[in-house]
Amino acid sequence: MRRHCSGMFFYTSVCIIASLFIYSNIGIAQTSRAVQKSSISFRIGTDAWMSDRRFEDLLNLLDKYQGVTDQVTFFSSSTHSPLSLEDFSYRMTLLKKRMEQTRARGYQTGINILSTIGHHEENLEHSLQGQYTYVTDISGRVSRGSYCPNDRRFREYIRNIYRFAVQANPDYIWIDDDIRLAGHMPVGFTCFCDNCLSIFETETQMKWSRTQLAKVFASGNQKDKLRWREAWLNHNRNTINRLFLLIESEVHSMAPDMILGFMTGDRFYEGYDFDRWARTLSGNNRAKVWWRPGGGYYQDGQTAELAGKSHDIGRQVAMLPPEVSLIQAEIENFPYQRLKKAASITALEAASHIAAGCTGVAFNVLSFYDEPLDEYEPLLQKLKNTRPFLDRLVAELGDKPLDGASVVWDRSSFITVRLQEDWPGSANPVIRPEQYDIGIPACYNYGNATITMLTGNNIYTLNDSAIRKLLSGAVYMDVPALEQLNKLGYGALTGFEVSDTSMRDRIEQFTHHSINMSFAGRKRDNRQSFYREAAYGLRPVQPGAETLAYLVDYSGKKQASATMGLFENTLGGRICVAGYYPWSYMGSQSKSAQIKNIFRWLGRDRLPGYIASFHKANCWIRNTGKGKVAMAVTNSSFDPALELTVMLRSDSDIALLYDMNGEAVKVKASGSDGVYRKFVVPKIAPWEMVLIVSGP
């Protein structure tokens, strides 16, 4: 590795460190969106609109279920590599006619450009051909179905396809989620082509090869690894922003007010630069920008993943600037075979994603074949019947931020993964805590959350001020986070240190602490021989540190005097350290009750609400103003939830209970517990949601 200029190297290092400082302090964007009704779109595959007969059938079907959608969005392609210019131009000419016909039926309509740079290798023989640069991974491998967005020749191709799209006169244009730098099968993380390396050299004023980058990302001292990884994330942010500058300029030079929408998933490797990208797409005229957050949940065989996708979507929404008010959650039932996802689950998924922060839904659920659509009628009937509930959710929830418990993460968290391994590589810097599944309300902005949850290496993107602010609040952490904080010199604020680590034969047993109530002496055995995870013994090292659980072996012999504890530090922060399966296997009544008591203690009863009864339930909650609290609750079980008890931090003894059938009943509080009013929901059917709104 050759240095061009030591002074510039110092300047770059300072800039990168400053970037870490900025990101750690701004946290995640606070959002407030005044939206009173859900926005619903159906995304339509090419075989349903290229055929005259099938297109007429489609419009007739949507008319039959009037109100199921507001928008009809047409895919430019059914395969995932870019089209030739000739093919793309022909399709836009036909779509101009189709959109005119669609508007005549009363729908807003637009184009979804499926492939701008390409998703992966598919239908290559009938896709774009030419002297363009493929996206390239750090080993030099390529995806022949995806192209580098920094390639000058390919950027001219992009100019042309967006020009053709504007000429078709859509009401809006959606950019699909191929605008990313990871996941272009068969390769993973890109783009390390020669041109991208040259740009990175300009950005850093240093000469690089792929081999040198792989080395500095994975070896050496930790500070240097983090610095160069952050520099690469900045490079990725800039790459996508340059592409959006190109698209915005081309589109708005022809149609200054054209709405541009962008679809995303979790974009850790791309640097999660949503606020800047949204403002870039808006342009100088401040045209509207829409967003479509998504993720993988295509079939209902693993129903628990439904809430998991809502959490993924909630993170994406949390990173958006407040001016992005139309946020349609992506619901995709690929490969669109009706028996793969039930109509009731599709409807619940829409409600769940709205509860997590969206203001609408984009359904990609109809056949992509030229075939009759009658088998989809029960699905459309169900979605039409659910539409009033979706509207109610948006009206009650859509303009206020979530509150509850949030994992600590930020847009640079990806630099902290795989610190002892090759990077970039597959890893998610954000855990999915099972606390959400037992009734702790989910939040995705740790700067706005009542409770923060700290794990892994995410502390390494925070500076001293941010860490002290975190530790002055309410923190639930695992032992790896504890060890990192103690190593960094914050031991006086954490209260504990590690005394023992074991990979076998340890059981958590509750102490006689008031937090544990009548469950003192209860055990939680997560069978380390099956579910390999370290069990940590803890040692209290500060006055006032208290033990909630200790470790025993299968003979009942105590192996560590503490594995979970509480501590209130000199900053006024309340800390819980959990050393035994801190994020999983919370499904017993004793553990569920203990966790809820811990979170109430941590937050000094400032949580806006939670599920107090022993049920598997996900919930999202907002203070909606004027003394009202609104909570969406999903029964995430195949059993009916009977006598589910909701605790709301409210002064009102009355709440309205809405179900997914559009019915509403008044519920009177059955008592209180401190600042919380207790409302009992008689029954929630399996995999159904209710909305509870307290207040006059």
Indicate the pLDDT class of residue 33, thresholds 50, 70 and 90: low
What percent of the chain is predicted at pLDDT more than 70? 95
Domain residue ranges of the chain, discontinuous segments joined by +: 31-379, 405-602, 611-694
Decide if pLDDT at 382 tops 90: yes
Superfamily of domain 611-694: Golgi alpha-mannosidase II (2.60.40.1180)
According to the model, what pLDDT value does residue 304 have?
A: 87
What's the average model confidence in pLDDT over 631-647? 98
What's the average model confidence in pLDDT over 24-44? 68
Contact 566, 528 (CB under 8 A): no
Contact 54, 26 (CB under 8 A): no
- The C-alpha atoms of residue 539 and residue 516 are separated, in whole angstroms, by 19
The per-residue DSSP string of 263-275 comes to EE---TTTT--HH
Is it true that 31-379 and 405-602 share their CATH fold? no
pTM over 0.85: yes
Peptide bond into 424 cis (omega under 30): yes
Bridge-based pairing state of the strands 328-332 and 360-364: parallel
Give 244-263 pLDDT, tens digit per residue: 999 999 999 999 999 999 99
Q: Helices 222-254 & 274-282, crossing angle to 10 degrees? A: 20
Give the number of other Cβ atoms within 10 Å of residue 285's Cβ.
10
What percent of the chain is predicted at pLDDT more than 90? 92
Report which of 289, 362, 288, 281 is spatially closest to residue 328, judged by C-alpha positions: 362
- The C-alpha atoms of residue 635 and residue 669 are separated, in whole angstroms, by 20
- The C-alpha atoms of residue 621 and residue 692 are separated, in whole angstroms, by 9
Give 67-119 pLDDT, tens digit per residue: 999 999 999 999 999 999 999 999 999 999 999 999 999 999 999 999 999 99
Topology of the domain covering 31-379 = TIM Barrel (3.20.20)
According to the model, what pLDDT value does residue 34 have?
A: 62
Alpha-carbon distances, residue 283 vs 288, 553, 564 (angstroms): 9, 63, 51
Contact 68, 41 (CB under 8 A): no
What's the average model confidence in pLDDT over 164-173? 98
Report which of 126, 106, 133 is spatially closest to residue 193, judged by C-alpha positions: 133
Lowest mean pLDDT among 9-23, 89-103, 143-157: 9-23
Architecture of domain 405-602: 3-Layer(aba) Sandwich (3.40)
User: Can you say how many angstroms the Cα of residue 639 is from the centroid of all Cα atoms in its chain?
Assistant: 27
Decide if pLDDT at 6 tops 50: no
Give the number of other Cβ atoms within 10 Å of residue 473's Cβ.
19
Give 554-590 pLDDT, tens digit per residue: 999 999 999 999 999 999 999 999 999 999 999 999 9
Q: What is the largest CA-CA distance in the chain?
A: 77
Contact 279, 241 (CB under 8 A): no
Beta bridge partners of 668: 654
For the chain, helix, strand, coil in percent to 5 are 35, 25, 40
Retrieve residue 181's tokens: 């730098």
Give 333-379 pLDDT, tens digit per residue: 999 999 999 999 999 999 999 999 999 999 999 998 899 999 999 99
Decide if pLDDT at 668 tops 60: yes
Provide the residue type at 408 as one letter: V
